[in-house]
């Protein structure tokens, strides 16, 4: 029970890889996310009292959900690499930035995902790619719930649990890249190790995203209509 409430072990650091390819890959990925967020942002954001309260509350939730309420990777079958950008399954880690994506918009979601990823990287994974994975998932989820295409398929994408799964599928190539860049050795060994770990990492992220999606849908039901910022849909 103690491991569930406080699963992280005391080795608090972020390991910066010496591999130049990994550092270049990190930089390119980060720039792509910023450009993507800028291109997706279409409407002017009005920063009012409700907006700031939402941002403050979600920021505090990061300090609750990232250090606490998690499961160890020993619950999954097979050998789990210590270099993976996801280690403990922090059940509610995605909730703050998924809510931010649905209620506040792209840049708040990106900011909170970065904060969550940096904190989780420091406390648990020690991997510089953890924030980038969270940021990628946050942008994908936010686009899904905020796009306004009329076909039925796109309307279904606005439902948070579906948006959570679709955003994870969109992010899988990036997750695979993170696994490849997080390991060392020959190229063939990197690819073999990455593909062997991809399923377990994807499962952890899927559980995390589905929990966030369900909670987002519940919040969407409770939000007043119309909400000045929110676009979360319960159906």
pLDDT tens over the chain, length 235 residues: 445 555 566 677 888 888 888 999 999 999 999 998 888 876 666 677 888 899 999 999 999 999 888 887 666 555 666 677 777 888 999 999 999 998 888 999 999 999 999 999 998 888 999 999 999 999 999 999 988 887 888 888 889 999 999 999 999 999 999 999 888 778 888 888 888 888 888 989 999 999 999 999 999 888 766 454 555 544 3
Q: Are 116 and 209 in contact (CB under 8 A)?
A: no
Residue 36 within a domain: no
Phi, psi of 114 (to 5 degrees): -65, -45
- Tell me whether residue 27 is in a domain: no
The total number of structural domains that make up the chain = 1
Q: Is residue 60 part of a domain?
A: yes
Domain coverage including residue 212: 47-222
Rounded Cα–Cα distance for residues 191 and 197 (Å): 10
Q: From CA 98, how far away is CA 139, in angstroms rounded?
A: 9
CATH number for the domain including 54? 1.10.1760.20
């Amino acid at each position: 029970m103690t491991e569930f409430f406080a699963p992280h072990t005391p080795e608090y650091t972020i390991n910066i890889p010496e591999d130049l390819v990994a550092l270049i890959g990190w930089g390119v990925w980060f720039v792509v996310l910023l450009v993507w967020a800028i291109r997706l942002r279409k409407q002017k954001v009005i920063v009012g009292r409700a907006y700031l309260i939402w941002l403050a509350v979600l920021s505090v939730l990061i300090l609750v959900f990232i250090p606490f309420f998690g499961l160890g990777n020993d619950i999954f079958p097979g050998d789990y690499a210590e270099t993976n950008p996801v280690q403990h399954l922090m059940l509610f880690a995605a909730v703050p930035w998924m809510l931010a994506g649905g209620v506040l918009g792209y840049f708040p979601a990106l900011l909170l995902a970065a904060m969550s990823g940096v904190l989780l990287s420091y406390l648990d994974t020690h991997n510089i790619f953890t924030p980038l994975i969270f940021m990628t998932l946050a942008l994908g989820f936010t686009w899904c719930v905020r796009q306004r295409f009329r076909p039925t398929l796109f309307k279904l994408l606005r439902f948070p649990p579906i948006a959570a799964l679709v955003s994870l599928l969109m992010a899988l190539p990036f997750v695979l890249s993170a696994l490849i860049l997080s390991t060392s050795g020959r190229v063939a060994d990197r690819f073999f190790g990455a593909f062997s770990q991809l399923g377990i990492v994807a499962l952890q992220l899927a559980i995390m995203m589905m929990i966030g999606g369900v909670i987002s849908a519940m919040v969407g039901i409770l939000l007043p209509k119309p909400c000045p910022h929110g676009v979360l849909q319960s159906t």
